[in-house]
Amino acid sequence: MTRNAEFEGWVQAGQELLERYLQQHLPASTLAPQRLHEAMRYAVLEGGKRVRPLLALAAGELATAPLEPLIAVGASVELIHAYSLVHDDLPAMDNDILRRGKPTCHKQFNEALALLTGDTLQSLAFQWLSDPRLGLDPARQLQLVQQLALASGSRGMGGGQAMDLENTNQNPTLPELEAMHLKKTGALIRAAVLMGAHCGPPLEEKAQRHLAHYANCIGLAFQVVDDVLDAEADTSVLGKTAGKDAAANKTTYASTMGLSQARAFAQELLEDALRALSQLGPRAERLEQLAHFIVHRSH
């Protein structure tokens, strides 16, 4: 089996484990309030690359963490991600109609229900993460709850989104763009990596620093590639509206640096991430493969 095929098998197995967890733990749509539960399931299930849970699994492999809490951690992070997409698509934010190849949540249901869907997915993420049945040491579990809260709140993803809204029509500089994306997109990706590792026995401080550096680099690279794909790829491939940044006259890595420079920057970030991983030994292989995937993906 080639290395690529073996990685694809690992990705598929991880996605299946996650999908099963999500299917089983999201409230059934037969349960009242049915319409809200239907919308929550619609926003989360059958879609998305599941990159963040895969990163949690890969970081868990590095730290020799048990599988069960890793799935719950990955699923909790994915709920926060799904909530951010539902809110991001709302008319008050990006006002989009297509997400993961299907109508956005507010188009399929309505705006009020989409707001509630995002809100309740966020609560559910913390319900899953704080479940005493996860079998983790309670103090470590509490730290996981705090890591996710910090990454998604005003000092992380939510704050990054606020900076993005402020930046509209302001022509941010590259350092301003970087500061915004490290929060808006990077914070949750970084949390997925660090939380996955946190499910295992503590890594040495030096290893933790290398892992955090890797996580920062791929978090930013993810957004740089997102900007390039928005400019270059087709809506049918992306499953979301392409060309939105240019249409909204938004400053992005692609518009500021040009497409080939933006691609080169993503490659530099990948190499920086891989250098950090090279200090972590052979168990970092999945993280390495995921970094390549993030930078060379087509959607």
- Give, in order, the Cα–Cα distances in Å from 255 to each of 15, 47, 140: 33, 28, 42
Residues 117-176 binding ligand GRG (CB under 6 A) are 157-158, 161
Q: Between 65 and 84, how does the x/- string for binding to ligand GRG read (CB under 6 A)?
A: ----------------x--x
DSSP label at 258?
-
**Cα–Cα distance measured from residue 232 to residue 260, given in angstroms and rounded to the nearest whole number:** 11
Q: How far is the CB of 193 from ligand GRG (least distance, A)?
A: 14
Q: How far is the CB of 230 from ligand GRG (least distance, A)?
A: 9
- Is the CB of 84 or the CB of 141 nearer to ligand GRG? 84
Would you count residue 254 as binding ligand GRG (CB under 6 A)? no
Q: Between 29 and 58, how does the x/- string for binding to ligand GRG read (CB under 6 A)?
A: -------------------xx-x-------
Would you count residue 88 as binding ligand GRG (CB under 6 A)? yes
**Cα–Cα distance measured from residue 260 to residue 274, given in angstroms and rounded to the nearest whole number:** 21
- Is the CB of 61 or the CB of 227 nearer to ligand GRG? 227
Percentage helix, strand, coil for the chain under 3-state DSSP, each rounded to 5: 75, 0, 25
Would you count residue 185 as binding ligand GRG (CB under 6 A)? yes
Would you count residue 87 as binding ligand GRG (CB under 6 A)? yes
Burial string for 211-250 (b: 16+ CB within 10 Å, else e) reads: bebbbbbbbbbbbbbbbbbbbbbeeeebbbbbebbeeeeb
Would you count residue 230 as binding ligand GRG (CB under 6 A)? no
Would you count residue 96 as binding ligand GRG (CB under 6 A)? no
Question: Measuring CA to CA, which residue among 267, 291, 266 is closest to residue 278?
Answer: 291
Tokens of 179: 């500061």
> Which residues in this chain contact ligand GRG in the complex, by CB under 6 A?
48-49, 51, 81, 84-85, 87-88, 93, 100, 157-158, 161, 184-185, 223, 226
